[in-house]
Amino acid sequence: MKVTFPHMGNQYIATKVLFEELGVDIIVPPVCSKETLEIGTKYSPESICLPLKINIGNFIESIQQGADTILMSGSCGPCRFGYYTMLQKEILQEIGHNIDFVLLDPPQGDYKTFVNRIFHITNTKNPYKIIKALAQGTKVLYQVDELDDIAYYKRPRQRKIGEVDNLLEQFQKEVRNVKGYKEMKQLVGETKEKLMAIEEDPNKEVIKVGLIGEIYTIIEPFVNLNVEKKLGEMGVELDRSLKVSRWLTEHLYLHPLGLSMEKDIIKEAKPYMKTMIGGHARETIGYAVKYAKEGYDGLVQIYPFTCMPEIVAQSILPTIEKDFDIPYLCLIVDELTGDAGYSTRLEAFVDLLKRRREMKEDAKLLSGY
């Protein structure tokens, strides 16, 4: 059994650790690239959202390297992600890949199938072993997400532009060569130290932007055309609303117990959106309000073309923009998104934010404070 799974930002690092600790053979799909997207677009329905196309690309590229089992998580609506697996199965079958699909859906009462699937994919029936590996995977996930947070802080402040991303790129390459929890932990630790040691320029002007939107597009750098790097190097310190580590804790550990870490976000979203509507629309709204209250300079929303929940969020965000006087930029990505137009819009937005801040400071000076 050779297991593969779709990409989503740094999630693969944790999944790799998880399976290596369990002793299951895995194939990490090649980094998402133009080819991945091309393969995905070729076989997917035209009007489906971008994440599915990338998933298909990932799967096929992994199959070419010998994968025979796919691990995929799911949901039960109302966002179409819930039916991804069924469609993906049909697509892969049609092009002649007879592959074993293991779905990890919320059990909805059928715990026996769910547990059996876990036993099947982990290749062991020892719950202790599974829990231990899962804990280690989760730890790595948190550590890797911490790297991202450090990078958000360092990027706009680095003296030599590009240093942070050179380091991270190096890290991504080395990740593929290390094996198991111990080695990974060490590598992440080293990278963290190096990141912290990057020289800062104290005179740089830094503005703060909140990144909100659909979880996959804001997390996977290939899909959002490296928005974090682009904005960071323009002098923007980012905060991202959704992280894989938080998502995992929320859905795997807390949700079955009826708990949630997102209570305050839901509360912030309440005046604008009363209930959940699928996807992460409510989180998008909630974080937008939170960032606005915390005095961020601007908001950037990214979502895949035709994403239903985010369209609802998009129609509400202009009200938040007005209520809190915070500029908001909406970027929609699909397979036809061009880098140049995208960068221009980001640049213009950042210029606008900087100018706004200057004007505010001038106003302060003039009024004598």
Give the three-state DSSP class for 305.
coil
Nearer to other proteins, 258 or 368 (CB): 258
Tokens of 154: 């360092």
Kindly state the smallest distance separating residue 122's Cβ from other proteins, in Å: 21
Nearer to other proteins, 41 or 191 (CB): 41
Nearer to other proteins, 110 or 199 (CB): 110
Nearer to other proteins, 249 or 306 (CB): 306
Give the list of residues 6+ apart from residue 279 with CB closer than 8 angstroms, or none: 79, 81, 214, 215, 307, 308, 309, 310
Which burial class, exposed, middle or buried, applies to 132 when counting CB atoms under 10 A from its CB (0-12, 13-18, 19+)?
A: middle
Nearer to other proteins, 319 or 344 (CB): 319
Out of 172, 249, 306, 337, point to the residue binding other proteins (CB under 8 A): 306
Out of 80, 155, 240, 243, point to the residue binding other proteins (CB under 8 A): 80
Out of 207, 219, 281, 288, point to the residue binding other proteins (CB under 8 A): 281
Q: Is the peptide bond before 256 cis (omega within 30 degrees of 0)?
A: no
Q: Is 78 in the site for other proteins (CB under 8 A)?
A: yes
Helix axes 180-196, 11-22, angle to 10 degrees: 150
Alpha helices in 279-307 (DSSP H): 281-293
Residue 131 one-letter amino acid? I
Q: Is 105 in the site for other proteins (CB under 8 A)?
A: yes
Kindly state the smallest distance separating residue 74's Cβ from other proteins, in Å: 8
Kindly state the smallest distance separating residue 107's Cβ from other proteins, in Å: 12
Beta-bridged to residue 103, according to DSSP, are 72
Q: Which stretch binds other proteins (CB under 8 A): 59-67, 79-87, 171-179, 204-212?
A: 79-87
Nearer to other proteins, 60 or 273 (CB): 273
Nearer to other proteins, 225 or 277 (CB): 277
Q: Is 316 in the site for other proteins (CB under 8 A)?
A: yes
Give just the sign of the alpha carbon dihedral 75, 76, 82, 87: positive
Q: Is 305 in the site for other proteins (CB under 8 A)?
A: yes
Q: Which stretch binds other proteins (CB under 8 A): 18-26, 101-109, 129-137, 218-226?
A: 101-109
Out of 251, 319, 358, 361, point to the residue binding other proteins (CB under 8 A): 319
User: Which string of DSSP letters, residue by residue, matches 81-140?
Assistant: GGGHHHHHHHHHHHTT---EEEEE---TT-HHHHHHHHHHHHT---HHHHHHHHHHHHHH
Q: Which stretch binds other proteins (CB under 8 A): 17-25, 246-254, 258-266, 315-323?
A: 315-323
Nearer to other proteins, 115 or 131 (CB): 115
Q: Is 318 in the site for other proteins (CB under 8 A)?
A: yes
Phi then psi dihedrals of residue 298, to 5 deg: -165, 170
Phi then psi dihedrals of residue 26, to 5 deg: -130, 155
Out of 307, 331, 333, 346, point to the residue binding other proteins (CB under 8 A): 307
Q: Are strands 298-304 and 2-4 parallel, antiparallel or unpaired?
A: unpaired
| Dist. CA 358–CA 219, nearest whole Å | 31
Q: Is 85 in the site for other proteins (CB under 8 A)?
A: yes
Q: Is 48 in the site for other proteins (CB under 8 A)?
A: yes
Give just the sign of the alpha carbon dihedral 180, 182, 186, 188: positive
Count how many residues are written for the chain. 369
Q: How far is CA 352 from CA 54, 94, 328, in A?
A: 33, 49, 11
Q: Is 77 in the site for other proteins (CB under 8 A)?
A: yes
Kindly state the smallest distance separating residue 184's Cβ from other proteins, in Å: 34
Tokens of 298: 């601007």
| Dist. CA 59–CA 54, nearest whole Å | 9
Question: Helix %, strand %, coil % for the chain, to 5?
Answer: 60, 10, 30
Q: Is 311 in the site for other proteins (CB under 8 A)?
A: yes
Site residues (CB under 8 A) for other proteins?
45-49, 74, 76-80, 82-83, 85-87, 90, 94, 103, 105, 108, 272-279, 281, 305-309, 311-312, 314-316, 318-319, 332
